Amino acid sequence: MHNNKLIKLIKLIKSIKSIKSIKSIKSIKSIKSIKLLQFIFIMDIVKKQELFLKLAKPNEKGISRFVERNEFINEYVELNHTNNVCWYRFDNKFAARERKLCIVKRNKEIRLSWKCSKREFDKIKNEMEQFFKEKNITYVKGRNNNGNQIILYKLCGFQGCDTEIIRKDIVEQLINKKCPVLGINNCIEINHKNGRYNNPSVMNLQTQKVEDFQALSKYANDAKKKHCGACIKTGLRFDASILGYQVSYTTGTNNFGDSNNINGCVGCYWYDIEDFHKKNSKQSDLFTENNNRILNKCLQFINSEHVKDECKNEFISVKCEQVGQNKQIEKIEQNKQIEQNKQIEQNKQIEQNKQIE
């Protein structure tokens, strides 16, 4: 008799799709029974989640390999499920508040339990494509013929950590600043100074600081990404002498060194452009000349890309304004020189008159 009740209870638990659906089960009438069933249901889910962690073996950052569904055998057979249930659901604590869970369907549809940046999503997508190729997994287009079946699972870290998303209050503080390269406040993007994204405190929404980011125009930011990408591939930092500066780096050398060094980007032109300008502005004439060269190179870059007209026009107006300012400075310098020449001539005349007397 008791065994029959237990079997019915187990079948009932397995039929539950979510904790909210327990209250809608007609056979359960008392509140006490509902709470007891909810507790058993939650414990069953937690057990399966711990079982998945044992199988996936995530590292200290919470990142695991891709786990295939066909691995759910022997001691892991309990992880098998239909697409509606249950241990991996994005509305439970495991996926919604603790872990970043990625699931992949046979049609290559990717679902994530967290909001990620395009860069992060593209990285996961590339890893998935590579895994499909290595394992020779059959791709099924659409939702029919098992195309909608979940076949891969991957843990991508902990919630709130190791993310490229920037906190809203930081964005609001920087979004109205002018780009230190182009001098415009249009098409502004908030950018990580550290192009390697390897500093845990910067990648954590709770510990991010305004000083970790800079405001760049889209075009300057695109250029920074290209140069940071080249540095990651070669291990050689960007050389600011290309832009006409006498100083290549304010700190460090051309060799990045250990790829895990969180301070390896410090001193590079692209790491903190405003700081780089300040540390080189003592040589004012050279700085003005360098700034003109940078603006000219950026103008060439903009003309080679498809950009918004209003952004281009604003950049050109800033450029023309600066050229005008430079001409005014040249005119003032010329007038000063003329006045000095006049003064020299007057002094010579006074000396000659003294000699005659």
Tens digits of per-residue pLDDT, 50-101? 899 999 999 877 889 999 999 999 999 988 876 555 677 777 777 767 788 9
**Both 182 and 320 in a single domain?**
yes
Examine residue 1 and state whether it is found in any structural domain, yes or no. Answer: no
- Look at residue 164 in the predicted model and tell me its pLDDT: 64
Residues 275, 154: one domain?
no
Residues 104 and 253 in one domain: no
47 assigned to some structural domain: yes
Q: Which structural domain range is residue 44 located in? A: 12-18+31-158
The verdict on 177 and 154 lying in the same domain is: no
Together in a domain, 126 and 183: no
Least confidently predicted of 4-8, 133-137, 328-332 = 4-8
Same domain, 95 and 192: no
> Which amino acid appears at position 178 of this protein?
K
Name the amino acid, one letter, at 59.
Answer: N
Name the residue among 90, 99, 97 with its Cα closest to residue 156: 99
Distance CA 99, CA 141 (A): 29
Domain final residue pick, 158, 189, 204: 158
| Residues 109, 60 share a domain | yes
pLDDT band at 342 (very low <50, low <70, confident <90, very high): confident
Residue 26 forms part of a structural domain? no
Would you say residue 2 lies in a domain? no
3-state secondary structure of 222: helix
Is 340 inside a domain boundary? Answer: no
Residue 218 has pLDDT above 80, yes or no: yes
87 assigned to some structural domain: yes
Instruction: Give me the pLDDT at residue 337, please.
Output: 76
In this structure, are 77 and 46 located in the same domain?
A: yes
- Find the mean pLDDT for residues 335-351: 78
Q: Is the pLDDT of residue 282 over 60?
A: no
> Which of 129, 158, 187 is at the close of a domain?
158
Residue range 102-130: mean pLDDT, rounded: 89
Residues 306 and 173 occupy one common structural domain: yes
Using CA atoms, how far apart are residues 258 and 196, in angstroms rounded to an integer? 12
Alpha-carbon separation of residue 292 from 186, 267, 329 (angstroms): 20, 21, 14
Where among 139, 158, 177 does a domain terminate?
A: 158
In total, how many domains does the chain have?
2
Residue 1 has pLDDT above 50, yes or no: no
Examine the domain organization and report whether 110 and 227 are in the same domain: no
Q: What tens digit of pLDDT does each residue of 129-157 get?
A: 999 999 998 888 877 777 788 899 999 88
- Asked whether residue 66 is domain-assigned, the answer is yes
Q: What percent of the chain has pLDDT over 90?
A: 26
Question: By the 8 A CB rule, do 245 and 233 touch?
Answer: no
Per residue in 174-191, pLDDT tens? 888 899 998 888 788 888
User: Is the same domain home to 180 and 325?
Assistant: yes
Partners of residue 190 on adjacent β-strands: 215
Whether residues 177 and 326 fall in one domain? yes
pTM: 0.46
β-pairing, 188-192 vs 213-217, is antiparallel
Is residue 353 domain-resident? no
**Distance from C-alpha of 220 to C-alpha of 226, rounded to nearest angstrom:** 10
